[in-house]
């Protein structure tokens, strides 16, 4: 029972470091979440779900300091017409943020929304709690209990521009916990962007309710500060004929664990989750995805591509669960790594669990190197080895990037990837 005792002491040490925000409509949800964390205990290396990713720096009391990025690259999405909401080390920055009013959407800050009638009360911690089964996600429960801020986005129409949550990192020891709740009314449509390294350690949770016929686009760029650590969760519930599309770019980061838990509860809903990551050296990136089909005729896609070099590690744990009545399910899952040397590694655990009898589900996972014949072909046409390798690497990542519907956003992500590859040539 040494394991259990160790788990309790880790959990106690971390929780002892935090204060439960008191009062307001979220208090009951926070107390419930605290009880969940205490019951589950924080993740440990021996936990099956954390087999490939060491959780200790995510669960210890206090963040490991992370140096600030010293590259002069302009922040991503900076040139776009957007509503920008800025957090600095997890603290809302009203001066740097735009006015929060925009037609078709109401935006509140979690820290300020104290009224008991707030719509988010019916969602805050609810999707997270639901997502604790069958696999516990203690860091998400911890987030629900202790989040210091976040945004509550209620989409009633089709806002004219994307909402960009920008996370600046200014303090080398910052330890941020943010929780966002997003609800799209029937037929509504919104694009939410997230960008920036956020903090030395960042625990972020996003709960998204997509009502019937609504469409949610999410494009996220994690990166820049190499020493940062992040554990993020997305919990989404999809109604009939709704669409959920999420793409994440990750460049740099000694530790990133992105969990995405999606429940398709209405017929003919569509969920696409994609990720492209590029890592060099002591980079560890973990995509853990769990998609549950619980309605008829739904489609889900998981497309994850990882480019790894100089000993970088990529992890993919992806599951498609098709419940008994989820007939006509169309499920697709692909996870691939491009290993640019022999020191890097990719660990993949693709899973399918199917109880319906009329479904089409496919999954695949591969690891490979740059195609030498293609490289020579390009070089023989005059393209030098560096740019030729970059071109082939971008081609490898393309299937994931193409999951972004908006062309401007896709171009912006491709530009970032190209710039990163150029900086990290051997």
Partner 1 sequence: MLSIKNLHVKLEEEDKQILKGVDLEIEAGKVHAIMGPNGSGKSTLSYVLSGKDGYEVTDGTAMLEGADVLEMEPEERAAAGLFLAFQYPVEIPGVGNMTFLRTAVNAQRKARGEEEMSAADFLKAVRARAKELKIDADMLKRPVNVGFSGGEKKRNEILQMAMLEPRMCILDETDSGLDVDAMKLVAEGVNALRSEGRGFLVITHYQRLLDHIKPDVVHIMADGKIVKSGGPELALEVENNGYGDILAEVA
State the minimum distance, in angstroms, from the CB of residue 418 to partner 1. 12
Tokens linked to 144 = 């629900």
Residue 419, interface with partner 1 (CB under 8 A)? no
- Sign for the CA dihedral angle at 74, 76, 80, 86 comes to negative
**Residue bearing tokens 């997509």:** 210
Residue 364, interface with partner 1 (CB under 8 A)? no
Q: What residues does 293 pair with on adjacent strands?
A: 264, 322
The CA angle 225-229-230, to the nearest 5 degrees, is: 110
Residue 377, interface with partner 1 (CB under 8 A)? yes
The CA angle 333-334-340, to the nearest 5 degrees, is: 160
State the minimum distance, in angstroms, from the CB of residue 315 to partner 1. 24
**Residue bearing tokens 């309710």:** 209
Q: 256: which DSSP letter? A: E
State the minimum distance, in angstroms, from the CB of residue 289 to partner 1. 23
- Mask for 18-47, x = binds partner 1 (CB under 8 A): ------------------------------
Residue 391, interface with partner 1 (CB under 8 A)? yes
- Residue from the set 22, 70, 357, 381 that interacts with partner 1 by CB under 8 A: 381
State the minimum distance, in angstroms, from the CB of residue 220 to partner 1. 22
Q: Integer distance in angstroms from the first to the last C-alpha of the chain?
A: 48
Residue 374, interface with partner 1 (CB under 8 A)? yes
Residue 378, interface with partner 1 (CB under 8 A)? yes
The nearer residue to partner 1, 164 or 389, going by C-beta atoms, is: 389
The nearer residue to partner 1, 94 or 384, going by C-beta atoms, is: 384
Evaluate whether 361 touches 322 at the Cβ level (below 8 Å): yes
Residue 407, interface with partner 1 (CB under 8 A)? no
- Residue from the set 72, 101, 103, 382 that interacts with partner 1 by CB under 8 A: 382
Residue 410, interface with partner 1 (CB under 8 A)? no
Residue 181, interface with partner 1 (CB under 8 A)? no
The nearer residue to partner 1, 356 or 392, going by C-beta atoms, is: 392
Instruction: Report the run of H or E that residue 130 belongs to, with start and end.
Output: helix 126-130
CA distance 109 to 129: 21
Tokens linked to 22 = 């008191």
Residue length of the chain:
426
Residues near partner 1 (CB under 8 A) = 371-374, 376-385, 387-388, 391-392, 394-396, 398-399
């Amino acid at each position: 029972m040494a394991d259990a005792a160790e788990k309790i002491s880790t959990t106690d040490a971390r929780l002892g470091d935090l204060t439960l925000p008191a009062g307001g409509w979220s208090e009951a949800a926070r107390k419930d979440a605290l009880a969940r964390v205490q019951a589950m205990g924080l993740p440990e290396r021996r936990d099956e779900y954390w087999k490939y990713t060491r959780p200790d720096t995510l669960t210890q009391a206090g963040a490991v300091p992370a140096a600030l990025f010293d590259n002069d690259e302009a922040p991503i999405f900076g040139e776009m017409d957007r509503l920008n909401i800025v957090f600095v080390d997890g603290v809302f920055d009203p001066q740097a943020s735009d006015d929060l009013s925009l037609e078709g959407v109401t935006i509140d800050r979690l820290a300020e929304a104290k009224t008991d009638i707030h719509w988010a009360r019916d969602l805050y911690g609810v999707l997270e709690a639901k997502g604790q089964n069958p696999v516990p996600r203690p860091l998400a429960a911890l987030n629900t209990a202790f989040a210091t801020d976040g945004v509550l986005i209620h989409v009633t129409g089709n806002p004219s521009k994307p909402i960009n949550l920008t996370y600046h990192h200014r303090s080398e020891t910052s330890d941020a916990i943010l929780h966002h709740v997003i609800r799209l009314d029937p037929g509504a449509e919104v694009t939410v962007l997230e960008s920036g390294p956020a903090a030395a350690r960042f625990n972020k949770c996003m709960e998204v309710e997509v009502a019937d016929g609504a469409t949610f686009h999410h494009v996220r760029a994690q990166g820049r500060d190499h020493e940062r650590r992040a554990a993020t969760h997305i919990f989404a519930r999809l109604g009939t004929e709704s669409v959920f599309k999420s793409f994440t770019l990750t460049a740099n980061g000694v530790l990133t664990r992105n969990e995405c838990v999606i429940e398709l509860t209405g017929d003919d809903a569509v969920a696409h989750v994609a990720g492209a990551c590029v890592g060099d050296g002591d980079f560890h990136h973990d995509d853990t995805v769990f998609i549950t089909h619980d309605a008829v005729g739904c489609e889900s896609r998981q497309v994850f591509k990882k480019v790894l070099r100089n000993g970088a590690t990529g992890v993919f744990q992806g599951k498609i669960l098709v419940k008994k009545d989820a007939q006509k399910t169309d499920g697709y899952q692909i996870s691939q790594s491009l290993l640019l040397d022999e020191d890097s590694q990719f660990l993949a655990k693709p899973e399918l669990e199917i109880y319906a009898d009329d479904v089409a589900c496919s999954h695949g996972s591969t690891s490979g190197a740059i195609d030498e014949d293609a490289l020579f072909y390009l070089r023989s046409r005059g393209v030098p080895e560096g740019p030729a390798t970059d071109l082939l690497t971008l081609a490898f990542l393309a299937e994931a990037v193409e999951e972004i519907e908006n062309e401007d956003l896709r171009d912006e992500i491709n530009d970032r990837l190209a710039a990163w590859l150029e900086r990290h040539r051997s």
